[in-house]
């Protein structure tokens, strides 16, 4: 099985003790490509460092809505320069998080719009984080020119997933799909075509059942693949192959 982890945070301190051994072991477990995601300037730089170190790792750069302490026009110009590195394949993660209230919604919207514009100018797909801000996230994306990217760790309705798919976006599915209370997300997977699904760990967080609560890594994606296969009534091999191709198309295809 060939697996593409479309969203990981291997620069996280939780991997400091065994990062090298773990990353070396993943290709042997079928994990052939990984995109490591930035959340601010230092983590975006760390993502590029990892991408330079490992052939199968690529990077995304940007400011997460929870990490806006150091954002500025100048910082975004640095993100722009970083985004031109040959192994940077997306702007992210960017978006809105109204559950997290350290930064006011209007502040979050301002920097989200700025980064949507940056992604458009640099012709890069976006990786979107959205929590308790579904309609505002959708509206700002719809008002922008960007039509390439993924709504990561999707947590909204099947109806909204279909709207995103209509606009050209992919839907990111991770460990949550294996949780007992994932009824709404199961409906999302039922309602959208497999051609529009990306699989993701968001590791070290969001480990799927049976490893829920433990540190997550890309080898756990087999459980996500199996669950999607079960919902879609196809083989796990087909889910892995299709989602691999989807991630290839989104991150490296024609913009």
Measured distance CA(75)–CA(55) in Å, rounded: 27
Minimum distance between the CB of residue 95 and Ni ion, rounded to whole angstroms?
10
Which residue in the shown chain puts its C-beta closest to Ni ion? 202
- The conformation of residue 89, written as its DSSP 8-state character, comes to E
Q: Return the number of the residue (116 or 241) whose C-beta is nearest Ni ion.
A: 116
Measured distance CA(182)–CA(17) in Å, rounded: 32
Q: Return the number of the residue (5 or 202) whose C-beta is nearest Ni ion.
A: 202
| CA distances in angstroms from 7 to 36, 90, 154, 172, 233, listed in the order given | 6, 11, 12, 9, 25
When asked if residue 40 is in the footprint of Ni ion (CB under 5 A), the reply is no
Chain residues 164-223 in contact with Ni ion, contact rule CB under 5 A: 202
Q: Return the number of the residue (97 or 202) whose C-beta is nearest Ni ion.
A: 202
Minimum distance between the CB of residue 127 and Ni ion, rounded to whole angstroms?
8
Minimum distance between the CB of residue 148 and Ni ion, rounded to whole angstroms?
18
Chain residues 57-86 in contact with Ni ion, contact rule CB under 5 A: none
Minimum distance between the CB of residue 235 and Ni ion, rounded to whole angstroms?
28
Bridge partner list, 17? none
CB 200 within 8 A of CB 5: yes
Minimum distance between the CB of residue 87 and Ni ion, rounded to whole angstroms?
18
218: left (phi over 0), alpha (psi -120 to 50) or beta: alpha
Q: Return the number of the residue (145 or 214) whose C-beta is nearest Ni ion.
A: 214
CB 62 within 8 A of CB 94: yes
Measured distance CA(51)–CA(83) in Å, rounded: 13
Minimum distance between the CB of residue 76 and Ni ion, rounded to whole angstroms?
19
- Beta-carbon contacts of 242 under 8 Å, excluding residues fewer than 6 positions away, are 194, 195, 197
Measured distance CA(137)–CA(151) in Å, rounded: 10
CB 79 within 8 A of CB 118: yes
Q: Return the number of the residue (204 or 236) whose C-beta is nearest Ni ion.
A: 204
Minimum distance between the CB of residue 252 and Ni ion, rounded to whole angstroms?
20
Measured distance CA(79)–CA(62) in Å, rounded: 6
Total residues at interface with Ni ion (CB under 5 A): 1
The binding site for Ni ion (CB under 5 A) comprises 202
């Amino acid at each position: 099985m060939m697996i593409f982890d479309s969203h990981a945070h291997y620069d996280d301190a939780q991997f400091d003790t065994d990062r090298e051994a773990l990353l070396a072991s993943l290709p042997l477990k079928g994990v052939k490509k990984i995109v490591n995601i930035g959340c601010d300037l230092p983590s975006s730089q760390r993502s590029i460092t990892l991408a330079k170190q490992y052939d199968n790792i690529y990077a995304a750069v940007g400011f997460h809505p929870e990490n806006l302490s150091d954002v500025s026009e100048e910082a975004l110009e640095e993100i722009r320069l970083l985004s031109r590195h040959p192994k940077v394949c997306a702007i992210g993660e960017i978006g809105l998080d109204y559950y997290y209230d350290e930064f006011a919604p209007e502040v979050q919207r301002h920097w989200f719009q700025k980064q949507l514009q940056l992604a458009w100018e640099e012709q890069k797909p976006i990786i979107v984080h959205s929590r308790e801000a579904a309609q505002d996230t959708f509206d700002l994306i719809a008002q922008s020119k960007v039509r390439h990217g993924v709504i990561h760790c999707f947590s909204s309705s099947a109806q909204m997933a279909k709207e995103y798919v209509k606009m050209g976006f992919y839907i990111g599915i991770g460990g949550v799909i294996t949780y007992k209370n994932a009824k709404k997300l199961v409906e999302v997977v039922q309602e959208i075509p497999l051609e529009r699904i990306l699989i993701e760990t968001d590791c070290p967080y969001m480990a799927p059942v049976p490893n829920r609560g433990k540190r997550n890594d890309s080898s756990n994606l087999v459980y996500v693949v199996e669950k999607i296969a079960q919902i879609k009534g196809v083989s796990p091999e087909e889910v892995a192959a299709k989602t691999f191709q989807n991630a290839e198309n989104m991150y490296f295809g024609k913009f």
